[in-house]
Amino acid sequence: MGLRDFEYIEPQTVKKACKVLSKYPEEAFTYAGGTSLLLLMKQGIVRPKYLVNIKRIPKLRYIENDTESVRIGALTTHHDLEVSPVIQQFFPMITEIEPQIANIRVRSTGTVGGNLGFAEPLTDLPPIFIALDARIKIETPTDGRMMLLEELFVGYYETCLEASELITEVQIDKTPANFGLKYIRFSAGSDKPAVGSAVAVWIDSGGRAEDARVVLGCVAPTPLRVREAEEVLKGKEFQLELAEQAAEIAARACSPLSDIRGSEEYKRAIVKVLTRQAIEEAFNRAAANRADQQ
């Protein structure tokens, strides 16, 4: 199907983009990498009257290495993350997963802002970023604010942002030496993920988890933080039975849809397996990081 006519707008600043979006809340659509939006437009699912291309706004594509944190601009692409020495140094779990995401065409153009702002459930970055307690910077037509990424998502393809608001940056604090994170995704071939599980732990000198994150992707309307599973891990050393107990809780907590990627039952079984493995590997990584620093 061909594209319907639309008015093309190329704002030069974030504020100008927000103002256009606020003027036409129902009819204007943000275009960043275009990987998702163009598909929807070609299928006639969305019919923008105004296409607001933010890709040419200067200074939104960067990975900045600050003292305490790393800041990632919204127009940073998957490929930028994949090849960044800063990401490799401070967040190797992102470098590790990027080559598995989509395909090189999508990774070269799809942006971090689009990955989060589109709020598609079948994505990989949100569970990893949430397990890292990432924050996002939001710009509005008049001012801006920071929020936890975890609070962004409210439903399938739905965020808490106003139509006039844009994500401009992701901020992730550098992790301490007692930290370990493992994200495992399951997908059929080079498709979008069907299930993703991110587990992070901070361990004490005895190998016990001081804190933990268990975050699932693809198996609920939004990325799902399973606090009950985190509580099971806290204060404990790694043990297989413990990991199985937490993984069982995660599998019960999610609400996967049956679709071409698998039945609800199948996906719950995969959640359990991946989460158990991710817990073990997160503890191993935290212990190895601790040992490296001593």
Ligand X SMILES: Cc1cc2nc3c(=O)[nH]c(=O)nc-3n(C[C@H](O)[C@H](O)[C@H](O)COP(=O)(O)OP(=O)(O)OC[C@H]3O[C@@H](n4cnc5c(N)ncnc54)[C@H](O)[C@@H]3O)c2cc1C
Least distance in Å: CB of 247 to ligand X?
22
Q: Which of 87, 101, 224, 242 binds ligand X (CB under 6 A)?
A: 101
Site string for ligand X, 71-100 (x = CB under 6 A): ---x---x----------------------
Q: Is residue 110 close enough to count as binding ligand X by CB under 6 A?
A: yes
**94 or 232: whose CB is closer to ligand X?**
94
Q: Is residue 118 close enough to count as binding ligand X by CB under 6 A?
A: yes
Q: Is residue 135 close enough to count as binding ligand X by CB under 6 A?
A: no
Which residues contact residue 78 at a Cβ distance below 8 angstroms, ignoring those fewer than 6 apart? 98, 101, 102, 106, 107, 108, 110, 111, 112, 115
Q: Which of 29, 90, 153, 238 binds ligand X (CB under 6 A)?
A: 29
Q: Is residue 127 close enough to count as binding ligand X by CB under 6 A?
A: no
Tracing tokens 């990991």 back to the chain, one arrives at 243
Tracing tokens 């190895």 back to the chain, one arrives at 288
Token reading at 131: 């397990």
Q: Is residue 275 close enough to count as binding ligand X by CB under 6 A?
A: no
Q: How many CB atoms lie within 10 A of CB 64?
A: 12
Q: With beta carbons less than 8 A apart as the criterion, state whether 166 and 111 touch.
A: no
Q: Is residue 113 close enough to count as binding ligand X by CB under 6 A?
A: yes
Q: Is residue 279 close enough to count as binding ligand X by CB under 6 A?
A: no
**35 or 178: whose CB is closer to ligand X?**
35
Q: Is residue 34 close enough to count as binding ligand X by CB under 6 A?
A: yes
Q: Is residue 141 close enough to count as binding ligand X by CB under 6 A?
A: no
**45 or 288: whose CB is closer to ligand X?**
45
Cα dist from 206 to 80, 163, 276, whole Å: 38, 49, 21
**41 or 253: whose CB is closer to ligand X?**
41
Q: Is residue 147 close enough to count as binding ligand X by CB under 6 A?
A: no
Q: Is residue 102 close enough to count as binding ligand X by CB under 6 A?
A: yes
Q: Which of 20, 76, 91, 111 binds ligand X (CB under 6 A)?
A: 111
**120 or 237: whose CB is closer to ligand X?**
120
Residue in 108, 157, 20, 115 with CA at minimum distance from that of residue 29: 20
Torsion angle of C-alpha atoms 41, 47, 53, 55, degrees rounded to 10: -30
Least distance in Å: CB of 260 to ligand X?
14
Q: Which chain residues interact with ligand X by CB under 6 A?
A: 29-37, 39, 74, 78, 101-102, 106, 110-111, 113-115, 117-118, 123-125, 166-167, 192-193
